[in-house]
């Protein structure tokens, strides 16, 4: 087992000339999003559980609400051609359809917003892009829900 | 000692009679190479091999490492599908190199071999498994009981109780599932399927008493609720564990515990 090796211990010139040596080691590669001191200790809580359940429960209710809505608006009784100011005014005269539409508005908006929140969490990589995308999403959601609710409750059939 | 007499025609590599047709075929291994000491970029390198298609991808990698290019770096230990060292992305799918026969993955085309995704590549096919094992450790993958005395007898369990978590005991921590998960690819903070599988193994073990604690650990922003049910993990698992089902059972346990 005699040896004629003269190379210094450590990294040998296995692939071309070594760029790094023992004195000048290669930079440490940090794992992406490794648990560091800055990582929050615990992010536990029931919010994600509730959100997960809400997606399924609101989905079930939305099946009824949305299919009913589409049937009434687009299919039954002459289809789209019947829709006009008078048609909307007629339906919103009944508290039943007011509640229907209000429920559909809130559930679809919250369901859609939470769905998009998940999509942002899954696809946006940098914390900053997450922050801004979510800020935009929440602003749009709150705006649409409030405006829609306002219209349903303050709708005036005699506006003309 | 007498020289052993060989019945076979010739020990020096003559094909045996009746085996005149060589079983060997030419296969291209297209390996994703990365050496941070040479270049910051990973590159593809092709290796042409004469190999029996009934051999495994791992045998091909051995052939390269031993006979062609000793710098090729990959992990393997048992070579028989039990240590979980050699999960890699072969033809775009996570598998164990030691359980994948070359004939099963279309050797007519180049076979691509990459490191598993979502973990930092250290060199060639070797990734930093630390974040993976961190998530594993976080779910407390060991028996927890309240009695502090040393047990005086075996902790008995009925066959049905054992059956309840049988599937998840099979995990070999190869990371094929976690590194096939698109949620984990994009956010390494997600516990990942393997950690949930190993939590499941204790949550549903009748002898264990920390199930509640483990459920709480997984009831996290980056816990089970990040699972999008894509089934990549179930497809990837070389042990045939129904990974997505196990995750779903943990979700259900969390919900039924509260409502
Ligand atoms: C018609 C009845 C509906 C049902 C049964 C339903 C069901 C669901 C369920 C269960 C999820 C969760 C998927 C997951 O966690 O992986 C989901 C996601 C989502 N939903 Fe709905 N939903 C319905 C209607 C809607 C409506 C009206 C909108 C838009 C306002 C919407 C927008 C979304 C979005 C953006 C997501 C996230 C996308 C994703 O998870 O990939 N859904 N839906
Ligand atoms: S569950 Fe399967 S794929 Fe995931 S680490 Fe365990 S053995 Fe590997
Ligand atoms: S080398 Fe042990 S699992 Fe493949």
- Per residue in B49-80, pLDDT tens? 999 999 999 999 999 999 999 999 999 999 99
Q: Work out the average pLDDT over A131-145.
A: 97
Q: Is the ipTM of this complex over 0.90?
A: no
A44 close to B201: Cβ distance less than 8 angstroms: no
Distance between A137 CA and the closest CA of chain B, angstroms: 19
A148 CB within 6 A, ligand 1: no
For residue A42, the chain B residue with the least C-alpha distance is B220
3-class SS shares of chain A: helix, strand, coil, % to 5 = 60, 0, 40
Alpha carbon distance B247, B249 (integer Å): 5
Per-residue pLDDT at B259 exceeds 80: no
In this structure, of A53-57, B18-22, B171-175, the range with the lowest mean pLDDT score is B18-22
8 Å CB contact of B251 and A52 = yes
DSSP B82-110: SS---EEEETTEEEEGGG-BGGGG-TTSP
Which residues, 6 or more positions from A115, have their beta carbon under 8 angstroms from its beta carbon?
A55
Query: C-alpha angle A56/A100/A148, rounded to 5°?
Result: 95
Q: Output the pLDDT for position B185.
A: 92
Q: Which residues in chain A are contacts of B119 at CB distance < 8 A?
A: 31
pLDDT in tens, B179-201: 999 999 988 889 999 999 999 99
Candidates B189, B195, B253, B258: best to mutate against A (most CBs of A within 10 A) is B189
Per-residue pLDDT at A6 exceeds 50: no
Helices A127-154 + A95-123 axis angle, to 10: 170
Interface of B with A in 30-59 (CB under 8 A): 35-38
Q: How far is CA B155 from CA B25, B140, B148, B149, B158, in A?
A: 54, 19, 14, 13, 10
pLDDT in tens, B231-251: 999 999 999 999 999 999 999
Q: Which of B209-213, B220-224, B247-251 has the highest mean pLDDT?
A: B247-251
A111 close to A62: Cβ distance less than 8 angstroms: yes
The whole-chain average pLDDT of chain B stands at 91
Percent of chain B surpassing pLDDT 90: 81
Rounded to two decimals, the pTM is 0.83
Cα of A48 vs centre of ligand 2, distance in Å, is 25
């Amino acid at each position: 087992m005699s040896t004629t090796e003269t190379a210094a211990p450590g990294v040998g010139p296995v692939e071309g000339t070594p760029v790094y040596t023992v004195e000048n080691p290669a930079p440490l590669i940090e794992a992406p999003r490794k648990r560091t001191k800055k990582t929050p200790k615990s992010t536990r809580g029931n919010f994600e559980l509730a959100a997960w359940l809400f997606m399924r429960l609101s989905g079930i209710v939305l099946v009824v609400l949305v299919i009913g809505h589409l049937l009434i608006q687009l299919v039954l009784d002459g289809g789209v051609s019947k829709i006009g100011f008078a048609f909307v005014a007629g339906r919103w005269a009944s508290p039943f359809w007011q509640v229907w539409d209000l429920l559909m508005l809130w559930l679809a908006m919250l369901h859609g917003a939470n769905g998009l929140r998940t999509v942002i969490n899954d696809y946006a990589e940098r914390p900053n892009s997450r922050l801004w995308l979510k800020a935009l999403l929440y602003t749009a959601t709150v705006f649409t829900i409030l405006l829609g609710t306002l219209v349903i409750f303050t709708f005036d059939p005699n506006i003309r | 000692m007498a020289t052993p007499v060989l019945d076979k025609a010739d020990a020096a590599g003559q094909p045996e009679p009746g085996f005149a047709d060589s079983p060997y075929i030419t296969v291209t291994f297209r390996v994703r190479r990365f050496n941070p000491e040479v270049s910051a970029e990973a590159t593809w390198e092709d290796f042409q091999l004469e190999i029996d298609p009934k051999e495994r991808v791992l045998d091909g990698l051995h052939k390269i490492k031993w006979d062609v290019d000793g710098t090729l770096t990959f992990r393997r230990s048992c070579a028989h599908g039990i240590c979980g060292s050699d999960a890699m992305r072969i033809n775009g799918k996570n598998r164990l190199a030691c359980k994948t026969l070359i004939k099963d993955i279309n050797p007519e085309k180049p076979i691509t071999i990459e490191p598993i995704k979502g973990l930092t590549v250290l060199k060639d096919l070797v990734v930093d498994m630390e974040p993976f094992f961190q998530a594993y450790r976080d779910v407390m993958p060991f028996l927890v009981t309240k009695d502090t005395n040393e047990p005086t007898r075996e902790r008995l369990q009925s066959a049905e109780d054992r059956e309840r978590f049988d599937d998840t005991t099979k995990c070999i921590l190869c990371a094929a599932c976690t590194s096939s998960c698109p949620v984990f690819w994009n956010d390494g903070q997600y516990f990942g399927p393997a950690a949930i599988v190993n939590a499941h193994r204790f949550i549903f073990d009748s002898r264990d008493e920390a199930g509640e604690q483990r459920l709480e650990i997984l009831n996290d922003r980056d816990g089970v609720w990040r699972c999008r049910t894509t089934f990549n993990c179930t497809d990837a698992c070389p042990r045939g564990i129904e990974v997505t089902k196990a995750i779903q059972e943990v979700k259900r346990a969390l919900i039924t515990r509260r409502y």
